[in-house]
Amino acid sequence: MRVGRFGMIFVFVIGGKWFLMKKMEVSMNDKEKNMKSYFVLSAVFLIFALLVFVSCGRQEAVEEQIQVPSESQEKIQQLEKELTEKEEVITELEEKNAHLESLLPLPREVQKGDSHWEIAYDYLTQEKGLPAEEAANRLSDALLFHPVMVGFKVWNYFSDGNFGSFITQGTASISPGTVMRLEKKAAKEEKMGLENQIAGLQKTKEDLFEKAEKMERSFQAEKKKLDNRISSLEEDLNESGAKVQELETKLNSVYYFADSRRELKDRNKIKGTFLGICGTRIDDVTFADFSNSIDLRETDSITVDASEAGLSQIKKVGILPEHLEEGEDYRVEMSGDRRSARVVLLDKDKFRMARLILYLK
C-alpha cells in the first residue's frame, strides 16, 4: 500500500515538472514571468501531492481497521467452536450422570431415631432380601456414618455381592462433613479433657505413691517395733503358758510316794502310836519326798507294785493322811496274785493338789 502511495506522488511530481518545462519552451521571452509561473505551478503540484499522500494514508488506516475486526472474528469463531465442543461434553456427562442416577435406588431421608446401620440393614433385608445374619455380617465390615442428622439422605446400593452406602446433606441444616468436623472437634476436646484428667490423676497417683512410701517406711518401723514387742510378748506368753500349764498340772495332780510300812518307819517318814491306838501318823516328811504324781485329768488311780516295795505280795494298802476314808474317798483293788494293787480315787476334787503316803503291808 505504501509503495503505491509513493508511486502516485512520484508521477505527480514528474508530470508537474514536465508540464512546466513545456510552458517554459512556449514562452521563453518573459524570463521573470516564467520563473514566477514555475514556482506557482510547483507549489500547486506539491500541495496536490501532499493531499494525495494524506488520502492514501487514511485509506491504508481504514484498510488496517477493516483487517483487525476480521482477525477478531476468526478468534470469536474459534471460541464458539470450542464452546460448542464443551457443551457437547457437558451434555454427554449429564447423560451419563442421569444413567448412573437411574441405576441407584431412591435415597431414604433420615427421620428422628434413625441410624445409618438400621437404614442399611432395612435396605439389605427388606429391599434386597438378604438373610438377617448375612446382612449383619456385611454391615460389620461397612464404613457407616455416625451420628446421622434428621434430613440427611442415605444412598444404598447392592450389586454383584458388593454393598455400599453414602450420605448427602438433603434437607438437614448442616452437611455430613460439618457433622464429622464437629464430632472430630468434640472428640479432640474430650481427648484433651481426658488427657488433663489423666495428667491430674497421674499427679495424684504420684503423690499417693509418695505418701504410701512414707507410710510404708513408717509402717515398717512400727512393725519392727511391734514385732519385737510381739516376740517379747510371745516369750512372756509362752512362759506364762508354761507356768499356767504347770499350775494347771499342779492343781489337777496328786503327789505321792509309796513303800513298805517297815521301810517308811525306818526312814522316819511314818510312825506308829502306843499300842496302835491312834493308828499310823506322818513323821518327818518334806515336799521333796513326794516325787511321784498323777494328773487327775488323765487318770483317777494310782498303781503300786509289791516288788518295788520289797514285798512278795501286798496284803494291805494304807493311805495317809488318815482322814481319808476307804470306801468313801478311795477304793483299793488288789490284783489276783496280790503282786500289785490299784488305788482308785473316788472324789477327784478332794485329791487335787493332795500329798499322799501309800504304805504297803
Cis peptide before 147 (omega within 30 of 0): yes
Domain boundaries, the chain: 2-95, 108-173, 176-251, 252-360
Digits of tens for pLDDT over the chain (361 positions)?
Answer: 444 554 555 555 555 555 555 555 544 445 455 555 555 555 655 666 666 555 555 555 555 555 555 677 888 888 888 888 888 888 888 888 777 666 666 788 888 888 888 888 888 888 888 898 888 888 887 888 778 888 888 888 887 888 888 888 888 888 878 877 877 787 778 788 888 888 888 888 888 988 999 998 998 998 899 989 888 888 888 888 888 888 888 889 999 998 988 888 888 888 876 555 566 788 788 888 888 999 999 999 999 999 988 999 999 998 888 888 888 999 999 999 999 999 999 988 888 889 999 889 8
247 vs 242: CA distance, rounded Å: 8
Query: Of 359, 360, 361, 356, whose CA–CA distance to 291 is shortest?
Result: 356
Amino acid (one-letter) located at 5: R
Q: Is the pTM of this model over 0.75?
A: no
**In degrees to the nearest 10, what's the CA dihedral of 302, 306, 308, 311?**
150
Mutual angle of helices 2-26 and 31-103, in 10-degree steps: 170
SS3 readout for 263-297: HHHHCCCEEECHHHCCCEEECCCCHHHCCEEEECC
Cα–Cα separations (whole angstroms), residue 118 to 32, 123, 161: 122, 9, 19
CB atoms within 10 A of CB 181: 12
Q: Which three cell numbers stand for residue 29?
A: 521571452
